Copies of this chain bind each other. A is one copy, B any other.
Amino acid sequence: MIMEGTRPFTVEIQALVVSSPLPIPRRVAKGVSSNRLQLICAVLIKHLNLAIATKDVFVNVTGGMDIKDPGADLGIALAIISSTKDKPLPENSICFGELGLLGEIRKVGFESKMLKEAKSLGYTTIFSPETHKTIRSIKL
């Protein structure tokens, strides 16, 4: 869930993590900047020990959207974790939050607006700076 201006907006972010044949594995994203993807991967390797250092990581924002809002970091991170561990996220779940380089989940603007919107849309599991302080504390 991201903010478009002052309006909450739901997007689906997907990741695909596969073993890489390349010495420098790919980090390819559509709808998210490549630098941002590299930072998120570095955080996941450092703070979760996630085994993606030698894997290709692909990220897709469905619907052809481009996302600048840092609040989508957590969604990108969870998608990568989910694909790496081959465990789906809980059904009916949604998330928002910026991911810091220390692995902390940072507050974003308009949180109460987002929480309200998420509940009104029927989401039952919400990952947010409210519910989790660090990426490490999220158990998938």
Binding site for B on A (CB under 8 A): 14-16, 18, 21-24, 26, 28-30, 33, 35-36, 38-39, 42-43, 45-46, 53-54, 56, 58-60, 62-64, 68-70, 83, 98, 100-102, 106
Contact = CB atoms under 8 A, between A and B. Distances in A.
Contact of A16 (B28, B35, B46, B60): B46
Copies in the complex: 6
B69 A45 contact: no
Interface of A is mostly: mixed
B60 A39 contact: yes
B14 A26 contact: no
Contacts of A59: 101
B60 A69 contact: no
